[in-house]
């Protein structure tokens, strides 16, 4: 899927600006495969972004994130708002694999020209999923999507970079998501802005609600107490209420000037996340390609050289860095 003849840097950027589906699809495919043209187009579009509101939806596998997003999309479409959905599946090596399940659940919206849905797996990204997600979000933003939902599977840490660009983060749990409760309690998982306990048709939903409440009660300092909504995505139960809570969070951020602050922090975080991921790749490649650096690793493994000395030498050689390895007195 190379950049085809029919799109140039200018025509692709213009197509995205006009919200043209074919241009959008092409731009995101290029983003996904780290094509230089995608980089140039996002660079051209970037000054026009910052208008879309990004809602991150995270939670353990199978809790109903896609189903809830589908229901939320239905709800906001009644208000005539244009929507983008990026569904990120870090466990899927193939985009197609990631697509299949979500396709079925989001299929209701495929005929709606104001809804653009895209799944992304890990294939093809040189810069990792955080980079691809950020770029895809910027493309949808430039295309004038008012709302963008970012879905990613998460149990605490790995998803942070993907979801870290969201303005409002919704954590979806279901009866039986005990591990997530533990992760919240232990502070491994960040407290989200809104919590949905989905599959409320399940008999243990109320128990789950109480458990989540008791964990949140531990935090009395924050000026925003995350609301908890019991939902049933399949029947659209309490979906308007969930959307209302998301809107309330947005209003909270906007009224206190916190949205601007959060976005600045998110963008800085993304720059560091992407740069770190690239630096790591560069380091791994450099070590793999350099027999002398590989020998340092061997020596550590055979206990001839201590790890920090190896780190120091590798950093010096690969990044020209000295004294950055914590070995200072
Ligand atoms: N009983 C019940 N089942 C639900 C509800 N919401 C979703 N499901 C079902 O739960 C399963 C998983 O739903 P998805 O929306 O794919 O969940 P997900 O969190 O996006 O899953 P992954 O993306 O694979 O992590 C599907 O079989 C849904 O039909 C609900 O409210 N009640
Ligand atoms: Mg899903």
pLDDT of 29-39, one tens digit each?
999 888 999 99
Tokens linked to 174: 């279901």
Euclidean distance between CA atoms 40 and 223, whole angstroms = 40
List the one residue out of 228, 150, 229, 218 whose CA is nearest residue 184. 218
Within 10 A of 220 (CB to CB), how many other CB atoms are there?
7
Q: Could you tell me if the CB of 173 is within 6 A of ligand 1? A: no
- C-alpha of residue 222 to centroid of ligand 1, in Å: 31
Q: Is 280 left (phi over 0), alpha (psi -120 to 50) or beta?
A: alpha
**Residues forming a β-bridge with 116:** 84
The protein residue with its alpha carbon nearest to ligand 1, atom 2, reads: 199
Tokens linked to 214: 């008791």
Q: Could you tell me if the CB of 65 is within 6 A of ligand 1? A: yes
Residues, CB within 5 angstroms of ligand 2 (ion): 65-66
Within 10 A of 70 (CB to CB), how many other CB atoms are there?
26
Euclidean distance between CA atoms 196 and 242, whole angstroms = 7
Per-residue pLDDT of the chain (329 residues; tens, 9 = 90+): 554 558 999 999 999 999 999 999 999 999 988 899 999 999 999 999 999 999 999 999 899 999 999 999 999 999 999 999 998 876 655 444 444 455 556 666 767 888 998 888 765 555 567 788 899 999 999 999 999 999 988 755 555 567 788 999 999 999 989 888 998 888 888 889 999 999 999 999 999 999 999 999 888 788 899 999 999 999 999 999 999 999 999 999 999 899 999 999 999 988 888 888 889 889 999 999 999 999 999 999 999 999 999 999 999 999 987 755 555 44
Q: What is this structure's pTM? A: 0.88
The protein residue with its alpha carbon nearest to ligand 1, atom 17, reads: 64
Among 67, 85, 108, residue to substitute to test ligand 1 (most atoms within 8 Å of Cβ): 67
Q: Could you tell me if the CB of 209 is within 6 A of ligand 1? A: no
Q: Could you tell me if the CB of 196 is within 6 A of ligand 1? A: no
Contact 245, 227 (CB under 8 A): yes
- pLDDT tens column, 308-323: 999 999 999 999 877 5
Euclidean distance between CA atoms 49 and 3, whole angstroms = 23
Closest ligand 1 atom to 202 CA? 1
């Amino acid at each position: 899927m190379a950049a085809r003849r029919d799109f140039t840097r200018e025509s692709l950027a213009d197509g995205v600006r006009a919200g043209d589906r074919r241009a959008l699809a092409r731009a995101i495919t290029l983003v996904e495969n780290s094509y230089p043209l995608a980089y140039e187009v996002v660079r051209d579009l970037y000054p026009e972004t910052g208008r879309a509101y990004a809602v991150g939806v995270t939670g353990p596998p199978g809790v109903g994130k896609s189903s809830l997003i589908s229901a939320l999309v239905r709800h906001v479409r009644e208000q005539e708002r244009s929507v983008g959905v990026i569904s990120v599946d870090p466990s899927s090596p193939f985009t197609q694999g990631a697509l299949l399940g979500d396709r079925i659940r989001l299929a209701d919206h495929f005929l709606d020209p104001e809804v653009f849905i895209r799944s992304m797996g890990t294939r093809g990204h040189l810069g990792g999923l955080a980079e691809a997600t950020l770029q895809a979000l910027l493309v949808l933003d430039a295309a004038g999507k008012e709302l963008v939902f970012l879905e990613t599977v998460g149990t605490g840490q790995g998803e942070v970079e993907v979801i870290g660009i969201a303005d409002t983060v919704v954590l979806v749990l279901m009866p039986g998501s005990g591990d997530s409760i533990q992760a919240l309690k232990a502070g491994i998982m960040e407290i989200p802005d809104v919590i949905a306990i989905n599959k409320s048709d399940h008999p243990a939903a109320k128990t789950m609600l109480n458990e989540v409440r008791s964990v949140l009660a531990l935090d009395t300092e924050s000026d925003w107490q995350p609301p908890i909504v019991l939902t049933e995505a399949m029947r659209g139960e309490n979906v308007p209420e969930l959307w209302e809570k998301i809107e309330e969070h947005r209003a909270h951020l906007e009224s206190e000037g916190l949205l601007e602050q959060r976005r600045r922090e998110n963008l800085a975080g993304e720059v560091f996340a992407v740069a770190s991921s690239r630096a790591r790749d560069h380091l791994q490649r450099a070590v793999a390609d350099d027999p002398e650096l590989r020998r340092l690793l061997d020596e550590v493994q055979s206990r001839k050289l201590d790890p920090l000395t190896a780190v120091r030498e590798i950093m010096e050689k690969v990044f020209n860095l000295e004294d950055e390895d914590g070995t200072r007195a």
